[in-house]
Amino acid sequence: MVSISELQSYDHAAAYETVRHVIPEVEWAMYADDIEAIQRLKVEHDAVILAHNYMTPEVFHGVADIKGDSLALAREAEKVDAGTIVLAGVHFMAETAKLLNPSKRVLLPDLRSGCSLAESITPEDIAQLRKDHPGAPVVTYVNTSAAVKAASDICCTSGNAVKIITSLGVDKVIMIPDQYLAKNIAALTGVEVVTHPGACEVHERFTPLDIVQIRQGHPGVTVLAHPECPPEVVAEADFAGSTADMQRYVEDEQPASVALITECSMSDNIAAQHPDLEFVRPCNLCPHMKRNTLGAIRKALETGGPEIEVDPSVAAPARRAIDRMLEVH
């Protein structure tokens, strides 16, 4: 969190240096009022901003305190000391933060920030899958509601799914709700995976032809894909992993030219830190993530809402499924 002394010394012009390669100076100037207000409000309200890697650069580099993929945000949410968590992400992430740190006030800047995966499945769907596949444990992607997590045995993210499935030591699992993530993970584990017809509305739009065309236009490019992409797309990529895995890959391997087959802002945020690398930027936007504007974050801090609560009837079993995941990885 920003301290009073840091706040007093906050220098908008100096902060520009971190985003100079991805945000024009004239645009940065337009963000100054909101960014300075958010820095002040965080101190006044004892708040921290947890931001997913898909935030736009002015949010990610301008106001976020803790940044990461779904797994990192869950782990960090549990450790937050401040009284208020502003979750610059989507609804299931805010619910997860509330489940892991229930005494904190958790704010989601725009309640409409949903997720096509979370909306694709209900606890009743899980009950039916259990009936159809007796004995198979239910591994649930964190991109789901608390009620769906509560009906599950264990959660996973794209960053730990292989470890979670392997840890179960079984031949068959029910892995929901992302059919593509499930198929991509099945290919890596050799475990039989029963799934559900959910998909991410951002990643399902990528095609193998997109990658072929990127390679034709940028010879030598390294292609990294998110495992929510269809398996035929992942097969064309050089590496597949969560948003944090992709970031680590770029940092470790320093590919001269790289294409991230995922949500657009991810490339902008990493490109800001690696001006020497070429980023090819196929652009599919997540409309839910993009609702976390500076204006919406500022308003959430000013008004103390919208606040996320979890139905007490599902909180304990949902938390158990998340805790089991965090114990494995």
Binding site for ligand 13P (CB under 6 A): 53, 69-71, 115, 143, 157-159, 200, 228, 242-243
158/267 with CB nearer ligand 13P: 158
Decide: is 117 part of the binding site for ligand SF4 (CB under 6 A).
yes
Compute the distance between CA of residue 133 and CA of residue 129 in angstroms, rounded to an integer.
6
70/222 with CB nearer ligand 13P: 70
Decide: is 263 part of the binding site for ligand SF4 (CB under 6 A).
yes
SS3 259: strand
Decide: is 94 part of the binding site for ligand SF4 (CB under 6 A).
no
Residue pair 174/130 in contact (Cβ under 8 Å)? The answer is yes
Beta strands (DSSP E) in 142-203 are: 154-156, 172-176, 192-194
Decide: is 200 part of the binding site for ligand SF4 (CB under 6 A).
yes
> Of 73-81, 110-118, 153-161, 266-274, which part binds ligand SF4 (CB under 6 A)?
110-118
User: Hey, what amino acid is at 67?
Assistant: K
Decide: is 36 part of the binding site for ligand SF4 (CB under 6 A).
no
Q: Which does 288 bind (CB under 5 to 8 A by kind): ligand SF4, ligand 13P, none?
A: ligand SF4
Compute the distance between CA of residue 301 and CA of residue 259 in angstroms, rounded to an integer.
35
Decide: is 115 part of the binding site for ligand SF4 (CB under 6 A).
yes
How many Cβ atoms sit within 10 Å of the Cβ of residue 274?
Answer: 16
Compute the distance between CA of residue 257 and CA of residue 66 in angstroms, rounded to an integer.
27
Decide: is 51 part of the binding site for ligand SF4 (CB under 6 A).
no
* Tokens linked to 128: 């039916």
Nearest distance, CB of residue 90 and ligand 13P, angstroms: 6
Residue 220 CB burial class (10 angstroms; 0-12, 13-18, ≥19) = exposed
Q: List binders of ligand SF4 among 213-232 (CB under 6 A).
A: 228
**Token pair 């993210």 is at which residue?**
157
Decide: is 261 part of the binding site for ligand SF4 (CB under 6 A).
no
Report, in angstroms and rounded to the nearest whole number, the Rg of the chain calculated over CA atoms.
Answer: 20
Nearest distance, CB of residue 15 and ligand 13P, angstroms: 24
**Token pair 């708040």 is at which residue?**
47
Residues that bind ligand SF4 (CB under 6 A): 90, 115-117, 143, 200-202, 228, 263, 286, 288-289
